[in-house]
Amino acid sequence: MKLDHAMRLALEQQQFKLYYQPQVDLKTGAIVGAEALIRWHDEALGNVSPAHFIPVAEETGVIIPIGNWVLKTAIEQASQWKSKNIIIAINVSALQFQQSNFVEIVSAALQAAELSPAFVELELTESILINDAEDALQKLQALATLGVKLSIDDFGTGYSSLNYLKRFPLNKLKIDRSFVQEAPDNDSDVAICSAIINLSHALNLKVIAEGVETEEQKAFLIDAGCDEMQGYLFSPAIPADEFEKLL
Ligand code: G
Ligand code: G
Ligand code: MN
Ligand code: NA
pTM of the model: 0.97
**What residue spans define the domains of the chain?**
2-246
Q: What is the pLDDT of residue 30?
A: 98
Predicted local distance difference test score (pLDDT) of residue 129: 87
116 lines ligand 1 (CB under 6 A): no
CA–centroid distance, residue 134 to ligand 2 (Å): 30
Q: Which CATH number fits domain 2-246: 1.20.1250.20, 3.20.20.450, 3.40.50.620, 3.40.140.10?
A: 3.20.20.450
Report residues whose beta carbon is within 6 angstroms of any ligand 2 atom: 21, 37, 91, 153-154, 177, 210-213, 231-232, 237
- Closest-CA residue, ligand 2 atom 1, reads 154
**Atom of ligand 1 minimally distant from the CA of 153:** 12
Does any ligand 1 atom lie closer than 6 A to the CB of residue 50?
yes
> What DSSP string runs through the chain?
-HHHHHHHHHHHTT-EEEEEEEEEETTT--EEEEEEEEEEEETTTEEE-HHHHHHHHHHHSTHHHHHHHHHHHHHHHHHHTGGGT-EEEEE--HHHHTSTTHHHHHHHHHHHTT--GGGEEEEE-HHHHHTTHHHHHHHHHHHHHHT-EEEEEEETSSS--THHHHHS---EEEE-HHHHTTTTT-HHHHHHHHHHHHHHHHTT-EEEE----SHHHHHHHHHHT--EE-STTT---EEHHHHHHH-
Q: What is the pLDDT of residue 1?
A: 61
Confidence at residue 164, expressed as pLDDT on a 0 to 100 scale: 86
List per-residue pLDDT tens for the chain, 247 residues long.
689 999 999 999 999 999 999 999 999 999 999 999 999 999 999 999 999 999 999 999 999 999 999 999 999 999 999 999 999 999 999 999 999 999 999 999 999 999 999 999 999 998 888 888 899 999 999 999 999 999 999 998 987 678 889 889 999 999 999 999 999 999 999 999 999 999 999 999 999 999 999 999 999 999 999 999 999 999 999 999 999 999 9
